[in-house]
C-alpha cells in the first residue's frame, strides 16, 4: 500500500487520529496538507514530516467556517494541481450532560464542527473531484454514530449525521469514480478522550470495563484503517463504515 504522488488533505491533523494519519500517509509517500485550527501544532507536524524526508504543507482552518474550508481546498489545488484524498477528521467533544441539561451553545458548537464541517469538506472536495474525474473521501465518524451514547446528545447527533452523509454521498457519486467511506472508532487514546477523563476521572475504569480488549485504541490503529479505505486496494468499497472498537459494540 503506497501513496506516492498522492495529495492528501487531513483536517484536525495536528493531534490524535489526524496526526497519526498525517504521519502514516507521509511515510507511504503522500504529500500531506496538515489542516488544523491550531496552526502552531500543524506546523510542528509538517516540519517533522519534512525532517523525515516527506512532503507536507500546514494550513490553518476552522472547519466550521465555509470560507476557511474553501480557502483550504483552493490553496491545495493552486499549490499541487489536484486533491486525491480528503480526510474529514476534525472534531470536538460535548460537555457530557444529559439531554435536558445540554446547552444551546454546546449543541451549536459541536454540530458546527462535527457535522457541518464534514459537509463543507465533502461538498468542496467533491466539486474538485468532479473536475478531476476521481477522488476519495474518508470521514471520521464514531461508534457514537452507530449506537446509543448517553450524556452525549450533540456529539451522537453529529456522528450519526456523518454516517448518513457518507452513505448518501457515496451512492450519489459511485458511478463517477469517487468513493466515500467512514471509520467509526470506539474509545481512542486522544485529546477528546482526555477531555472526558479529566472531566470525570471515574470514567476511565468504567470505559475500559465495556471494551472486551480492555484497552483504548491507539490513534495509529485507526489511521491504518483510514489509509486502507483511501488506498487503491479498496477500489470496490464505498458507502461503508468500518467499526474499530475493540469489540465494544458486541
List the catalytic residues: 155
Q: Is 211 left (phi over 0), alpha (psi -120 to 50) or beta?
A: beta
Contact 239, 204 (CB under 8 A): no
- Distance, in Å, from the CA atom of 14 to the CA atom of 16, rounded to the nearest integer, reads 7
Cell numbers that stand for 26 in this block: 507521509
Q: What is the DSSP letter of 4?
A: T
- Strand pairing report for 31-36 and 7-11: parallel
DSSP letters along 8-36, please? EEEETTTSHHHHHHHHHHHHTT-EEEEEE
Cell numbers that stand for 226 in this block: 483510514
243: Cα separation from own chain's centroid: 14
Q: Which of 193, 142, 164, 139 is nearest to 21 (CA)?
A: 139
- Distance, in Å, from the CA atom of 59 to the CA atom of 40, rounded to the nearest integer, reads 10
DSSP letters along 126-192, please? HHHHHHHT-EEEEEE--GGGTS--SS-HHHHHHHHHHHHHHHHHHHHHGGGTEEEEEEEE-SBSSHH
Amino acid at each position: 500500500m503506497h501513496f506516492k504522488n498522492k495529495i492528501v488533505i487531513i483536517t484536525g491533523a495536528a493531534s490524535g487520529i489526524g496526526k497519526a494519519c498525517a504521519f502514516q500517509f507521509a511515510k507511504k509517500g503522500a504529500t500531506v496538507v496538515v489542516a488544523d485550527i491550531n496552526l502552531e501544532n500543524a506546523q510542528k507536524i509538517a516540519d517533522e514530516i519534512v525532517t523525515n524526508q516527506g512532503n507536507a504543507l500546514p494550513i490553518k482552518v476552522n472547519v466550521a467556517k465555509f470560507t476557511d474550508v474553501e480557502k483550504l481546498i483552493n490553496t491545495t489545488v493552486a499549490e499541487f494541481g489536484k486533491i486525491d484524498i480528503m480526510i474529514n477528521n476534525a472534531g470536538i467533544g460535548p460537555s457530557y450532560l444529559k439531554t435536558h441539561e445540554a446547552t444551546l451553545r454546546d449543541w451549536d458548537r459541536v454540530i458546527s464542527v462535527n457535522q457541518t464541517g464534514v459537509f463543507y469538506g465533502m461538498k468542496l472536495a467533491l466539486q474538485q473531484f468532479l473536475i478531476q474525474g476521481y477522488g476519495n473521501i474518508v470521514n471520521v465518524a464514531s461508534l457514537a454514530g452507530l449506537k446509543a451514547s448517553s450524556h452525549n446528545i450533540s456529539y451522537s447527533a453529529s456522528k450519526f449525521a456523518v454516517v448518513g452523509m457518507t452513505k448518501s454521498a457515496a451512492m450519489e457519486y459511485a458511478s463517477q469514480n469517487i468513493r466515500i467511506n467512514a471509520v467509526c472508532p470506539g474509545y481512542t487514546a486522544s485529546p477528546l478522550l482526555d477531555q472526558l477523563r479529566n472531566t470525570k476521572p471515574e470514567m476511565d475504569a468504567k470505559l475500559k470495563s465495556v471494551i472486551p480488549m480492555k484497552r483504548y485504541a491507539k490513534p495509529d490503529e485507526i489511521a491504518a484503517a483510514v489509509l486502507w479505505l483511501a488506498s487503491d486496494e479498496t477500489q470496490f468499497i464505498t458507502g461503508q463504515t468500518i467499526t474499530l472498537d475493540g469489540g465494544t459494540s458486541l
